[in-house]
């Protein structure tokens, strides 16, 4: 497994690999969810590349950029074992040298839900992923379903900017009790960890209530009742998978989405309805 | 010469040409300035591609999008004679289908001078050029020096987004009396056409006054005195070629820039100081 940290060597390395090239962008602190993305990439691509980069642009000023978990050596060990061919692990200054000032704005889809709670977040995500795509030039981009709105934002960017890359969404990996894997789960106290699966239970209840014909207001109220009382709900809703506009009722291909805070830790989860 | 108007055939056509591929993006209404870009591209590239697309995103609501000159057949004749290999001439709906919402923001460099007079202009320019680069995938991008700030904005975008393309700036082509060629010169009345070269004279005077040590305020006043009294000056300044930040005095590689309105027609010009 080759690890590169600068743009020109990365371009040379990625330009020379057998195609198709599958690419998994990550912020490191890898867990089984990331390894499932790698597995999906290996299943359809001759070469698999992963990036490890904690992207400052997608963190707000009061967010957890400084304390976000970092473990380059451990991450590389896991990726090598998982059969990854190439790793791109740039320094911050490599991605954002002095004078850097360009950003990608995906419009309304990036301003709802996560974008409303975290202004500028999706601008940061879209910008770094576009830069990574321009360096790696993959044939396929593998994204985790857990960050549902991120998948919609990046599919929007790929379409709008005529990027020649296929986007694959890989199902969320969960703990035995239903908690979606996330690098941020490491922040949870024992009590918060025990309470965290109630987010997924609330999403299931929201879907069930809507599916049996309850109005959205009642359904959200019922769902909210299943969330741990110590958690703070940011939102619970059912949305179009392409636009992230709210829907009155579930339909094929929609996402049921939610976000809640357990102490200082924000967790996201969703249910993706079969298309 | 092959002319394509859709994304997928364009991708196929551009993907199959001998390299290096030189690319000249235009809004059509071609003049000798554009043909000079083609000549420069032919001098260093095995294949030359030109796009013809009047980009609505870069026009303000009160600007001349609707009446901007269009002559696809005449443009194609000129390009064929000039030895162009491929033309990409998409419809508006091909570039901006329903739901399109992504844009590229280059930051401060796009908010000064032309960006201050034309809010959103450089966002529109950067967005369309990024899309065109993603379809054409050229090795070199040829831009006219006449739109100096546009060259700086696009060089900024290319650097910031890690685009693997060389940017070449081609010197401005002028009429015998010094007027920089522009598709918008066609809007000028006889009297305005006679007055238009005073913009270039004002720029020369600004440079000369600064070079002999006059302070900028005095130099701008002297330069302004050479502009036709019926014209309205938008700005006259000397700026860094990379950042378009104003400079107190000319230095190697700087631009002396100006914009003025002759009736309803805004004209730009600049002097690029030898690096």
ipTM above 0.85, yes or no: yes
**Pairing state of beta strands B103-105 and B166-170?**
unpaired
| pLDDT higher than threshold 90 for residue A274 | no
Angle between helices A148-160 and A121-136 (to 10 degrees): 60
Q: Which two tokens stand for residue A114?
A: 């996560």
Distance of CA A45 to the CA centre of its chain: 21
Check CB contact under 8 Å for B100 and A160. yes
User: How many Cα neighbours within 13 Å face the side chain of A112?
Assistant: 21
Check CB contact under 8 Å for B161 and A102. yes
Residue of chain A whose Cα is closest to the Cα of B100: A160
Check CB contact under 8 Å for B161 and A130. yes
Q: Let me know: does A7 contact B162? Beta carbons within 8 Å.
A: yes
Check CB contact under 8 Å for B131 and A7. no
Check CB contact under 8 Å for A160 and B108. no
Segment holding B159, helix H or strand E: helix B148-160
Confidence of residue A203 (pLDDT cuts 50, 70, 90): very high
Model confidence pLDDT, tens digit, residues B30-80: 999 999 999 999 999 999 999 999 999 999 999 999 999 999 999 999 999
CA nearest A53: which of A115, A10, A19, A12?
Answer: A10
Model confidence pLDDT, tens digit, residues B66-102: 999 999 999 999 999 999 999 999 999 999 999 999 9
Instruction: Name the minimum distance, in Å, from the CA of A197 to any CA of chain B.
Output: 35
**B243 — contact with chain A (CB < 8 Å)?**
yes
C-alpha to C-alpha distance for B43 and B227, rounded to whole angstroms? 37
pLDDT of residue B64: 94
Burial of A167 (0-12, 13-18, 19+ CB in 10 A): middle
Model confidence pLDDT, tens digit, residues A223-237: 999 999 999 999 999
Residue B73 CB contacts under 8 Å (≥ 6 apart), including other chains = none
CA nearest B163: which of A122, A5, A130?
Answer: A130
**B50 — contact with chain A (CB < 8 Å)?**
no
Model confidence pLDDT, tens digit, residues B233-259: 999 999 999 999 999 999 999 999 999
Residues of chain B with C-beta less than 8 angstroms from the C-beta of A106: 101-102
Check CB contact under 8 Å for B134 and A102. no
C-alpha to C-alpha distance for A136 and A87, rounded to whole angstroms? 10
Site of tokens 């739901």: B99
pLDDT of residue A252: 94
User: Cβ atoms within 10 A of the Cβ of B260, count?
Assistant: 23
pLDDT of residue B275: 85
What b/e readout covers B26-51, taking b as 16+ CB neighbours within 10 angstroms?
bbbbbeebbbbbbbbbbeebebbbbb
**B154 — contact with chain A (CB < 8 Å)?**
no
Superfamily name with CATH number, domain A2-170? HUPs (3.40.50.620)
A182 phi/psi in degrees, rounded to 5:
-160, 145
| pLDDT higher than threshold 90 for residue B274 | no
C-alpha to C-alpha distance for A27 and A29, rounded to whole angstroms? 7
Q: Let me know: does A113 contact A257? Beta carbons within 8 Å.
A: yes
C-alpha to C-alpha distance for B64 and B70, rounded to whole angstroms? 12
**A104 — contact with chain B (CB < 8 Å)?**
yes
Strands in A21-26's sheet, in edge-to-edge order, are A2-4, A86-88, A47-52, A21-26, A140-144, A166-170
| pLDDT, mean over chain B | 97
User: Cβ atoms within 10 A of the Cβ of B231, count?
Assistant: 20
User: How many Cα neighbours within 13 Å face the side chain of B136?
Assistant: 34
**B116 — contact with chain A (CB < 8 Å)?**
no
Confidence of residue A275 (pLDDT cuts 50, 70, 90): confident
CA distances from B251 to A122, A247, B239, B241 (A): 40, 58, 9, 10
**Domain chopping of chain B, boundaries:** 2-170, 183-270
Confidence of residue B16 (pLDDT cuts 50, 70, 90): very high
Check CB contact under 8 Å for B102 and A130. no
User: Cβ atoms within 10 A of the Cβ of B100, count?
Assistant: 17
pLDDT of residue A217: 95
**A57 — contact with chain B (CB < 8 Å)?**
no
User: Which residue in the set A103, A135, A242 is minimally distant from B105, CB to CB?
Assistant: A103
CATH topology of domain A183-272: 3.30.1300
Model confidence pLDDT, tens digit, residues A103-150: 999 999 999 999 999 999 999 999 999 999 999 999 999 999 999 999
CATH number listed for the domain at residues B183-270: 3.30.1300.10
Catalytic residue among B22, B34, B40, B54: B34
A34 is catalytic: yes
Instruction: Name the minimum distance, in Å, from the CA of B272 to any CA of chain A.
Output: 22
Residue of chain A whose Cα is closest to the Cα of B11: A164
Q: Which two tokens stand for residue A7?
A: 């743009």
Instruction: Name the minimum distance, in Å, from the CA of B93 to any CA of chain A.
Output: 12
């Amino acid at each position: 497994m080759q690890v590169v940290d600068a743009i020109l060597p990365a371009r040379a390395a990625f330009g020379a690999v057998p195609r198709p090239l599958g690419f998994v962008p990550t912020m490191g602190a890898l867990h089984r969810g990331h390894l499932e993305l790698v597995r999906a990439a290996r299943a359809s691509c001759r070469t698999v590349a992963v990036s490890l980069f904690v992207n400052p642009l997608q963190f707000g000023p009061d967010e957890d950029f400084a304390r976000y978990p970092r473990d380059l050596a451990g991450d590389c060990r896991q990726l090598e074992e998982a059969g990854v061919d190439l790793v791109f692990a740039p320094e911050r200054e490599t991605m954002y040298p002095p004078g850097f000032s360009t950003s990608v704005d995906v419009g309304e889809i990036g301003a709802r839900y996560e974008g409303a709670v975290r202004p500028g977040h999706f601008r940061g995500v879209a910008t770094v992923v576009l830069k990574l795509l321009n360096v790696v030039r993959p044939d396929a981009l593998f994204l985790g379903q857990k960050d549902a709105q991120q998948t919609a934002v990046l599919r929007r960017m790929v379409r709008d900017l005529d990027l020649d890359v296929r986007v694959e969404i890989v199902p969320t990996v969960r703990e035995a009790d239903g908690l979606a894997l996330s690098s941020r789960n490491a922040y949870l106290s024992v009590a918060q960890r025990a309470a965290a699966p109630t987010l997924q239970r609330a999403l299931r209840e929201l879907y069930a209530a809507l599916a049996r014909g309850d109005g959205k207001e009642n359904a959200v109220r019922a769902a909210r009742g299943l969330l741990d009382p110590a958690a703070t709900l940011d939102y619970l809703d059912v949305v179009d998978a392409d636009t992230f506009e709210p829907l009155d009722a579930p339909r094929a291909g929609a996402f049921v989405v939610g976000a809640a805070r357990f102490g200082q830790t924000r967790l996201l989860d969703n249910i993706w309805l079969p298309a």
